Structure 1
């Protein structure tokens, strides 16, 4: 692919990302937001409309649910998504809290599925949301089972501070990953969402490759130390059942 083709693809996705992250807009507004010529933005939008990924209403362009279709299709093809089956719902019922299934993709933790128990706080989490691996329990649960070179790469790229509690010291992170590996689960205390505690267990396959992570989140006042240990048992059991299911997907 030529440099011109690469730039064309990048511009197309830049427009899609802008519409997704900051909402709909008219051609001139989008051109200003993206610092691109109006004519260029207009041409790309026409192509995106013709493919069904963008629509226009009252002269404003916006993304369509075509992306939702693509995302769901991708999720249902993933073995772990099939293997988790009823486990997320079971964990939500047992803990009463907010439960998610995440995988690692392009050095980020990505939410694949969400279940909410009766006491769950609405965290506005949704499938497709991306989270820095180092700043959340499920991310650390997965990082604990990858080679040190991958973790070192994340450290070299910089450990972004999401909240004031996010671990940005490499030595502390490596210590946390070692602890998570030894006990079988990871914890974050307000590292991604202030005031929330998350407990997560990794899902490994029969070859000990990390395939994802099951996570429970709740307010820190409700998830005290004894409660965290109870939840750790629940997510570890769910992860183990999912691991068994992976062998038969």
Structure 2
């Protein structure tokens, strides 16, 4: 790919990102946001509309649902999603809490599936949401089973940003915690991404012991005391094992 082609692709996705972030904009507003000539922006927008990935209504451009279609196709192709789908619902029913399946992609945590029990607190999460691995229980469960050099690369690229005042931002402290995760088989996030919420997650390994995902249960700290944490930890560990079996023998 030539530099010119790469710049063209980069610009197109910058426009898509701006439209996704803002919800919808006129062409002139997109140009202002990206400091691009209006005429050039218009050409990009028209090309994106022609592909079906952007819509135009009353001169306002928006991301189309084509992205949802593509994302759903990819999600259903992922073996771990099929292997975990029913199990997530079982865990949500058993715990009554918010249950998620996370995978690692390009050094970030991506929520692949969500199931909510009857007492679940709405976390404004959705399939496809991305978040830093170091600040979440499922992210730490995944990091604990990645090769150390891969973890170092992720930290170098994405940093250890403080999402809340409880987020672990020191590399040495985090590596110590990842060692604990490996010893006990689960990870805990106590207000590290969302203040007042406790999340407990276990890694899903394949038959080669490579980590494929993590299953997580989240609930308010007020009802997840030490005893309940232990109970949920056992649930997610058992659930991750069920998904591993489903994944290995599907």
Q: TM-score, normalised by structure 2?
A: 0.98
Does residue 209 of the first structure (1) align with residue 205 of the second (2)?
no
Query: Does 1:60 find its partner at 2:60?
Result: yes
**How far 1:85 sits from its partner (Å)?**
3.2
Deviation of 1:243 (Å): 0.2
Listed as ranges, the matches of 1:141-152 within 5 Å are 141-152=141-152
Aligned to 1:153, the other structure's residue is in SS state helix
**Is 2:85–2:113's contact at 8 Å kept on the other side of the alignment?**
no
- Look up the SS of the partner of 1:47 in the other structure: helix
Shift of 1:89: 0.3
Q: Which runs of 5+ in 2 are unaligned?
A: none
1:93-147 per-residue CA deviation (whole Å, 9 max, x = no partner) reads: 0110000001000000000001010000100100110010101000000010011
Structure 1 unaligned regions, length at least 5 = none
**In structure 1, C-alpha distance between the alignment counterparts of 2:121 and 2:231, rounded to whole Å:** 19
User: How many residues end up aligned between the 2 structures?
Assistant: 249
Q: Residue 3 of structure 2 corresponds to which residue in structure 1?
A: 3
Deviation at 1:225, TM superposition (A): 1.2
In 2, the alpha carbon distance for the partners of 1:185 and 1:50 equals 47
1:189 matched to 2:187? The reply is no
Residue equivalent to 1:51: 51
What SS does the corresponding residue of 1:85 show, helix, strand or coil?
helix
CA distance in 2 between counterparts of 1:11 and 1:242 reads 40
Asked if 1:113 corresponds to 2:113, the answer is yes
Task: Report matched runs for 1:115-194 at 5 Å.
Answer: 115-157=115-157, 158-194=159-195
- Measured on the aligned residues, the alpha-carbon RMSD in Å equals 0.8
2 CA distance for matches of 1:179 and 1:21?
Answer: 37
Shift of 1:35: 1.4
Could you report, residue by residue, the CA deviation over 1:73-97 in whole angstroms, capped at 9, with x for unpaired residues? 0000001011113100000001100
The Cα shift of 1:40 comes to 1.3
* TM superposition outliers: structure 1 runs of 4+ over 4 Å: none
Asked if 1:238 is matched to 2:239, the reply is yes
Alpha-carbon distance in 1 for matches of 2:34, 2:208: 45
Q: Name the SS of the counterpart of 1:99 in structure 2.
A: strand
**Distance in 2 (alpha carbons) for counterparts of 1:7 and 1:147:** 33
Q: Take 1:164 and 1:35, find their aligned partners in 2: how far apart are those partners?
A: 35
1:67-78 → structure 2 map (5 Å cutoff): 67-78=67-78
- Structure 2 Cα separation of the partners of residues 66 and 156 of structure 1: 33
